[in-house]
Amino acid sequence: MPRRSGNRIVKALESCIEQAKAARVAPEIIENMCRSRDMMVKKDEFTQEASSSHSKICGEIEEATYTRDWKADYDQGKTQWHFQPGMLCGQVEGQLLKSLVSIHRAKRVLEVGLFTGYSALSMAEALPADGEIYSLEICESLKPLVQNLTKDSPHAKKIKINSELLTPYPTFVDSASELLTPYPTFVDSVSELLTPHPYRITHTLPYVCWFVYFTGPALETMAKLADAGEQFDLMFLDGEKKDYVHLLEMSFDRNLLSPGGTVLIDNAYMIGTAYTSSDDTSPAHILKDLVKSRKDLHSVMLPMNDGVLMIRRLKDVERDTA
């Protein structure tokens, strides 16, 4: 059975119920509050039950994501952030992505935010044998984890991660370790300092290092892909939320999105701030205002999980009458 999505409204209602009990509110009012919470829970359960199940390997990825000690990874400097399992999009959204890949007959998909590979594999399962999903992930240590988690899937070969997309830069392991063998402490300490940043040592001579920006961060890599004239039929943006506006402009204005293509933006409610905050300058409002102000775009907000905003070119949605 898939994990339940963490519904924020259910959590808010649960905290209200606890407060009401502590304040000895009339039992019939508490009962009404419990009924409202149960309606939300049952709606989520029904939604999951009415949607197709994920594949066996996606199920294993989900389990591994929920049981992993992400705090230990963070404390040991293996990850930039203390990841949370709830970052994974889950069964219903995964099946939506899979359906859209199939409806589009997509051959090339671009994803920002690989995490443990759940959404990437869900989409890869609907791609044809020669289809590709390019996934951009800033946290390099996730790549070997995903490769291990997906190794038994026949669809794993369709998933290309970060440096496989562009001419790979020489990495620290390729070049630096040999040249700097006499200075291991120096290399170790510089590498450690670099861990949270998207830079890597590429060439070294004693006491001198060259650094390059690694290909993980979405904005830079997408700009390079656009420069190279690459195009994608479907794009799933699920990385750094503040980048969304730039990523969107890159998709439509630099034609990274193929004609007839679709962009999906995850967490468009931005942890609920879209509808709980009246701050017009919040990233959620800026994104919404941008999309609404562009007369060449068509958008629909899918109210699942933390909001999935689906955007297409208007000319691909509204057809001529003649």
Ligand X SMILES: C[S@@+](CC[C@H](N)C(=O)[O-])C[C@H]1O[C@@H](n2cnc3c(N)ncnc32)[C@H](O)[C@@H]1O
> In the window 230-269, what residues touch ligand X (CB under 6 A)?
238-240, 243
Task: State the Cα torsion 80-85-86-89 to the nearest 10°.
Answer: 90
Backbone angles phi, psi at 102, to 5 degrees: -75, -40
Backbone angles phi, psi at 256, to 5 degrees: -70, -25
The reply on whether position 136 binds ligand X by CB under 6 A is: yes
Look up residue 207 and give its DSSP letter: T
Count of residues touching ligand X (by CB under 6 A):
22
Binding mask 174-213 for ligand X (x = CB under 6 A): ----------------------------------------
- Find the angle CA(102)-CA(103)-CA(106) to the nearest 5 degrees: 60
Task: Report d(CA 20, CA 167) in Å as an integer.
Answer: 60
Q: Which is nearer to ligand X, 81 or 259 (CB)?
A: 81
The reply on whether position 138 binds ligand X by CB under 6 A is: yes
Taking CB positions, which residue lies at the least distance from ligand X?
A: 113
Contacts of 111 (CB under 8 A, 6+ apart): 119, 120, 123, 133, 134, 135, 136, 235, 236, 237, 238
Binding mask 59-88 for ligand X (x = CB under 6 A): ----------------------------xx
Part of the chain binding ligand X (CB under 6 A), chosen from 4-12, 143-151, 215-223, 252-260: 215-223
Binding mask 95-124 for ligand X (x = CB under 6 A): -----------------xxxxx-xx-----
Summarize as ranges the residues that interact with ligand X (CB under 6 A).
Answer: 87-89, 112-116, 118-119, 136-139, 142, 216-218, 238-240, 243
